[in-house]
Amino acid sequence: MSNLIEQFIHYQMVEKGLAQNTLDSYRRDLNSYSEFLKKQFNTVNISDTSRTHIISYLLELKNKGRATSTISRNLASIRSFYQYLMRDRLIEKDPSQNLESPKIDKRLPKVLTVDQVETLLQLPDTTSPSGLRDKAMLELLYATGIRVSELVSLNLEDVNLNMGLVKCFGKGSKERIVPLGSIAIKSINHYIDNGRNRLGKKVANNSLFLNHHGRRLSRQGFWKIIKKYAKQGNINVEITPHTLRHSFATHLLENGADLRSVQEMLGHSDISTTQIYTHLTKSKLKEIYSKAHPRA
């Protein structure tokens, strides 16, 4: 089964051009499913699996306390895998067919206030190379709303500071151009000129943001960085790698930006994904109304 999983991953990469994070997610989910089959049912032969096996696996995830979104994603991975096997005639029947995904409660994303963002952006110590890097990363994230995976994938040539533009590759390797604000441009310039080459003994690649070994900073590395600053600044909001992205979108809409423009900057293929931020701005309006209106 492991060989089939790798064939499936290769197909998704070559034929569909999926991003590395998506491919890693598929591999993780399917390897977990394979281990479950081997442990619980003593089988690794995919043609022997049935609807019962899949349901048992999903129940196992639920019993372990996995989030509904995680269970739903696992089922989507398994379903895509079986569809691939059917397409290549490696199995005769798709046991995942007609299996319903669990309903996911749409939770509004956590966002920072403008004051909290300002606090966060002022925390890095810009007298050190790592502080210059952190300042540039945080300013870039808030200025553009790009994903953390897109941030750490940036190369030097992807940022045009003269024109104030950044080029990034989103889900499905789709390229988009996002404008940069003047403060972000200044911070990135300062980092490139005074900090980047001082990170690590030898910088031998064109990655924009580096770790202390002079190699490309990872998503996990950034995650630790933003958690550190949130704690340092006493920001009592649950910070995630996407917090600045959510804050970027919400603050734009609150200040009159149109939904289509925000959709394009975020790289959402479907505007319904972007519309969740309108719920946040409506919630804010209701809060203001409740506090300000004498008959609220």
Return the active site residues.
147, 171, 242, 245, 268, 277
H-state helical runs in the chain: 2-14, 20-41, 51-63, 68-87, 114-122, 129-144, 148-153, 182-194, 219-232, 243-254, 259-266, 271-274, 276-292
Distance CA 219, CA 241 (A): 8
Q: Which residues pair with 177 in a beta bridge?
A: 167
- If you compute the radius of gyration of the chain from its CA atoms, what whole number of angstroms results? 22
Distance CA 184, CA 180 (A): 6
Residues 6+ apart with CB under 8 A from 59: none
Distance CA 290, CA 92 (A): 60
Q: Which backbone phi and psi does 35 adopt, to 5 degrees? A: -65, -40
**Structure token digits, residue 37:** 């089959």
* Residue from 192, 219, 172 nearest 12 by CA: 172
The dihedral sign for the CA sequence 131, 132, 133, 135:
positive
Q: Amino acid identity of 59? A: L
